[in-house]
Amino acid sequence: MEIEKKFLVKELPDDLESCKSYTIEQAYLSTSPAVRVRKRISTDNKEFFLTVKSSGMFAHEEVESDIGESTYQNFLLEAKGNVITKQRYILPLLDGLKAELDVFKGIFEGVIMVEVEFPDEETAKKFTPPPYFGDEVTFDKRFHNSNMSTMSKSDISDLIHFVHTGHA
């Protein structure tokens, strides 16, 4: 079971560049259920994954499998909608938690979100976000990557406008 909260970001933390990071490219073969292929590139490694997620915005099942690069490329050809690219930074938080801060690139340039995965719902409910976290968007489907993959150019423009102004 994956339990996570998602937030917009008010400002980037000062020490962001010192944090572990990698580039992600992902696309969806299906959005219901969410079936995603992902390429993750770090300074010394390239990894490829196929992920299936059950429905649910706060808590859901997730199964991830390693796949090879050629399998990834073949799945990518079958993907529907927008390919999502982002730089992900891993930031330590209190109580052994970590934040995954995503700075989106390409067509979603300007969107910055952070998510935190929790060991249980109780920990998630007690969580106090750090000052750089903005509004919580866990239950706003616009900010889930599977939905972003289906957005039109107009929807993307509206999303980016919302991120920067706080209203539609």
Q: Which residues are catalytic?
A: 28
CA 161 – CA 150 distance, rounded (Å): 18
d(CA 19, CA 44): 15
Q: Distance from CA of residue 101 to its chain's centroid?
A: 8
Distances (CA, A) of 30 to 11, 78, 133, 138: 33, 10, 30, 20
**Alpha carbon distance 71, 50 (integer Å):** 9
Q: What is the DSSP letter of 11?
A: S
Asked if residue 114 lies in contact with residue 100, where contact means CB atoms within 8 angstroms, the answer is yes
Q: Encoding tokens for residue 14? A: 């000062």
